[in-house]
Amino acid sequence: MPKKSKRKWSQDVTDSSNAMDLEGGVFKKRSAKKIADSLKKSAEQSDRRKSGPFQSAMSMLNFYINRAGKELSKTRLSTLERAKDELRKDFGKQPKH
């Protein structure tokens, strides 16, 4: 029986998404603005995404947040949630409140 990998499938998706080429460590950045800017750049440059750049970038961010779940500290989660608002600003969308 083959040895199981310690990595989760969600980590593989985050690392090697066929939808977008992500900058290494994008979700580890301390600044919500830098996370959003990196995701925006990746989404706009991708020719493999199946939806618009905004939707692709937001989906990847939500995917990461949902998969990391309880492993995220409150501070990290807060930064990632702020990155959603930064993404909306970057794409000219209104933040939802």
Which tokens hold the place of 74? 């409150």
The list of the chain residues with pLDDT below 50 reads none
pLDDT of residue 74: 94
Which contacts of 75-84 are long-range, i.e. CB under 8 A and separated by 24 or more positions? 79/30, 79/31, 79/32, 79/35, 80/27, 80/32, 80/35, 82/32, 83/32, 83/33, 83/35, 83/36, 83/39, 84/36, 84/58
pLDDT of residue 95: 54
* Domain residue ranges in the chain: 30-90
Which tokens hold the place of 19? 């939808």
pLDDT of residue 39: 94
pLDDT of residue 3: 53
**Residue 31 in contact with residue 42, Cβ under 8 Å?**
no
